[in-house]
Amino acid sequence: MSEYSSAGSLGYQRKYWIEKHPYDSSEVPWIQKLNEWLDKILMETFVESSYSDAINQNLYKEDFTRNAATVEYSLLRLIQYLGLRIHNSDEVVDYLLRYRGIYDATLFACIVTAETFGRNAEVSIEMYHDPEISDEYITIYVRQNKYDSDILDKIDSICREYEPALEGQNGWLLVTSDFRPPRG
């Protein structure tokens, strides 16, 4: 574990505990991939020996997703490291705190989407509010200036990777495109 203070685009200065997913990743491939990405992101952004020591000793807390600061910080790192955009961050954080079971799947879907589309697309995390029924969920939009002919195939592939993590959860997450140009 490593303590880190930051003031970023999501808000004010706070202390955050940087943690990896606490579950055994050898059983679940998407968790293994998420942990590998978190290692990469955190190791490239923090050079503190205390973080490296914690990783080597497997010192993880069981309930780290119960902390609003951890959720905010995770989203901040995704924005900074992967170039993602987030709209209405307070709503996204609130949703992830209400439906903690989709936190890891959301991080994983963001990472896989950014990895798949690279810098050729804007990847934006937003809350979708259905205007006809009382329903809301996190949506990760892929927007391009010139849309790839296989964009829907790529999105379907991403969905097949993260959807098993949503089984039995109350919250929902969708990766899609609204075929609009990037917001910039």
Residue 173 has pLDDT above 90, yes or no: yes
Cα angle at 178 between 161 and 120, to 5 degrees?
A: 70
Report how far residue 173's alpha carbon sits from residue 103's, in angstroms, rounded to the nearest whole number. 10
Report how far residue 44's alpha carbon sits from residue 121's, in angstroms, rounded to the nearest whole number. 23
4 - beta bridge partners?
16
pLDDT digits (tens, 9 = 90+) for 65-92: 457 777 888 788 778 888 899 988 899 9
CA dihedral angle for residue 48, residue 11, residue 91, residue 97, rounded to 10 degrees: 40
Residues 109, 165 contacting (CB under 8 angstroms): no
Structure token pair of residue 131: 């205007």
CA 44 to chain CA centroid, nearest Å: 17
Structure token pair of residue 61: 């807390």
pLDDT digits (tens, 9 = 90+) for 116-169: 998 889 999 999 999 899 899 999 999 999 999 999 999 999 999 999 889 899
Kindly report the pTM of this predicted structure: 0.72
Residue 61 has pLDDT above 90, yes or no: no
**Which residues are CB-contacts of 153 (< 8 A; sequence separation ≥ 6)?**
none
